[in-house]
């Protein structure tokens, strides 16, 4: 699914989509198929559904049916950039759609921005919004996870989507903003100007027009499930344990699909790192340190690299260098890591585990290059 999101992201930036039907067919329906919906079955993906046939001719752009009895999702589609100025009116549309046939979820999208509403809760319709996705600026893995969690057919059928949405709505506005910003803040501390985690959190939440104090950020971080971030140059286990294959794991070493994996142990040369992107960026830095040019690294890895400190379109700077790399899915990061380790003769050891969202949940994999 990540490759599909990346392709749509690029086409939005290249101005491929010229009307509302392009958004419906080439973005929304394309993503729905990836999320498990039978787009060829009009009883499951119903276009132009009459929501109140006895009262008026109001139609919803797309209605999704996870069962044969009632709509699960209403999707209202607008052209790119046509949501913000008319949001209140569009929300009233969706409120009226749910008057007689209430769907579990309602979605407003212009292809780039996606606003999710949990229709089953009380209150004003605008207050039912629990999640927003930006296909251009949000992290690819975050986008994929939220689409699967709130628009995946299996998650809607099982009720998991509703339960997760209810959790989001249970948070107050400030808490939700901090929760959504914490993971990006953890990434942000790895980049210049190397702010502290509370400072990064304050900055990112402020971008949502929600002011918080440093003290509030510190208290939230203390209470968050992951309370402590290991320094990058410190392992989570003893050095004598790392690079030791004497473990009781039957490793699944395929790297074609590393969705929903997390790094258990990661080390490249003398640096311990905790994510695929951090490992890959550090390998690129070592390549530059060894005298390889930007063009040589691009040719070796096929990564999208740019000179300068670029922070848009998915690019982020490589630590202590003057180049930037566009983020890639975990599988592509792993392939590029291997190529760099082999070419540059780098010691690389990565032990990873598939998370519970994956069919391989609980299995572990191992990548090892130039390690004795």
Q: Read out DSSP for 197-220?
A: HHHHHHHHHHTTT----HHHHHHH
Please tell me what DSSP assigns to residue 133: E
d(CA 89, CA 173): 22
Strand partners for 324: 306, 317
d(CA 264, CA 246): 16
- By residue count, the chain amounts to 372
Does 370 score more than 80 pLDDT?
yes
Q: Name which residue leads in pLDDT, 45 or 265.
A: 45
Q: Name which residue leads in pLDDT, 309 or 133.
A: 133
pLDDT (0 to 100) of residue 111: 92
Lowest mean pLDDT among 24-28, 160-164, 340-344: 160-164
Note the pTM of the prediction, 2 decimals.
0.51
Does 240 score more than 50 pLDDT?
no
Mean pLDDT is highest, among 50-54, 247-251, 312-316, for 312-316
Q: Which one, of 349, 340, 233, lies nearest residue 290 by Cα?
A: 340
Does 184 score more than 90 pLDDT?
no
Per-residue pLDDT averaged across 31-38, rounded?
94
Q: Which residues of 278-305 are buried (b: 16+ CB within 10 A; e: fewer)?
A: bbbbbbbbbbbeeebebeebbebbebeb
* Tokens representing residue 237 in the block: 């286990």
Q: Which one, of 128, 217, 127, lies nearest residue 174 by Cα?
A: 217
Lowest mean pLDDT among 27-31, 93-97, 220-224, 227-231: 227-231
With bands split at pLDDT 50, 70 and 90, how would you rate the model's confidence at 232?
very low
pLDDT (0 to 100) of residue 53: 59
- Contact (CB, 8 A) for 346 and 300: no
Question: pLDDT, tens digit, for every residue of 63-89?
Answer: 999 987 789 999 999 999 888 778 888
Cis geometry, peptide bond prior to residue 51 (ω within 30 degrees of 0) = no
Fold classification of 2-170 (topology level): tt1808, chain A (3.90.1570)
Residue entry with tokens 């640096």: 271
Within the chain, all domains assigned CATH 3.90.1570 are found at: 2-170
Cβ contacts of 4 within 8 Å, gap of 6 or more: 30, 31, 34
Per-residue pLDDT averaged across 188-206, rounded?
81
Question: pLDDT, tens digit, for every residue of 82-131?
Answer: 887 788 888 888 888 887 778 889 999 999 999 999 987 777 788 788 88
- Helix, strand or coil, per DSSP, at residue 168: helix
* Tokens representing residue 334 in the block: 């792993």
Does 150 score more than 70 pLDDT?
yes
Does 372 score more than 70 pLDDT?
no
- Helix, strand or coil, per DSSP, at residue 300: helix
């Amino acid at each position: 699914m990540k490759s599909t999101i990346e392709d749509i992201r690029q086409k939005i930036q290249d101005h491929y989509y010229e009307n509302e039907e392009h958004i419906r067919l080439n973005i929304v329906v394309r993503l729905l198929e990836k999320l498990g919906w039978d787009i060829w079955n009009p009883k499951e993906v119903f276009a132009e559904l009459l929501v109140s046939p006895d009262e008026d001719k109001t139609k919803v752009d797309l209605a999704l049916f996870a069962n044969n009895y009632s709509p699960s999702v209403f999707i209202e589609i607008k052209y790119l950039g046509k949501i913000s100025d008319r949001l209140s009116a569009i929300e009233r549309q969706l409120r009226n759609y749910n008057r007689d046939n209430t769907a579990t979820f309602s979605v407003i999208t212009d292809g780039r921005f996606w606003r999710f509403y949990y229709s089953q809760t009380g209150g004003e319709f605008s207050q039912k919004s629990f999640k927003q996705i930006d296909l251009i600026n949000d992290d690819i893995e975050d986008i994929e996870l939220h689409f699967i969690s709130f628009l995946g057919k299996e998650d809607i059928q099982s009720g998991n989507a509703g339960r997760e949405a209810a959790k989001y709505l249970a948070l107050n506005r400030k808490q939700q903003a901090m929760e959504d910003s914490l993971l990006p803040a953890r990434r942000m501390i790895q980049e210049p100007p190397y702010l502290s985690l509370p400072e990064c959190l304050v900055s990112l939440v402020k971008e949502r027009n929600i002011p918080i104090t440093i003290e509030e950020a510190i208290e939230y971080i203390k209470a968050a499930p992951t309370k402590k971030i290991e320094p990058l140059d410190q392992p989570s286990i003893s050095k004598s344990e790392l690079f030791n294959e004497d473990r009781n794991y039957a490793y699944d070493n395929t790297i074609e699909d590393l969705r929903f994996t997390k790094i258990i142990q990661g080390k490249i040369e003398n640096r311990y790192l905790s994510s695929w992107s951090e490992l890959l960026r550090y390998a690129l830095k070592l390549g530059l340190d060894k005298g390889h040019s930007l063009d040589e690294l691009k040719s070796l890895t096929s990564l999208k690299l740019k000179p300068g400190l670029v922070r848009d379109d998915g690019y982020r700077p490589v630590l202590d260098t003057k180049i930037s790399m566009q983020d890639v899915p975990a599988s592509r990061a792993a392939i590029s890591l291997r190529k760099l380790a082999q070419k540059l003769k780098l010691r690389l050891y990565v032990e990873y585990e598939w998370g519970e969202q994956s069919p391989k949940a609980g299995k572990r994999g191992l990548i090892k290059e130039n390690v004795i």
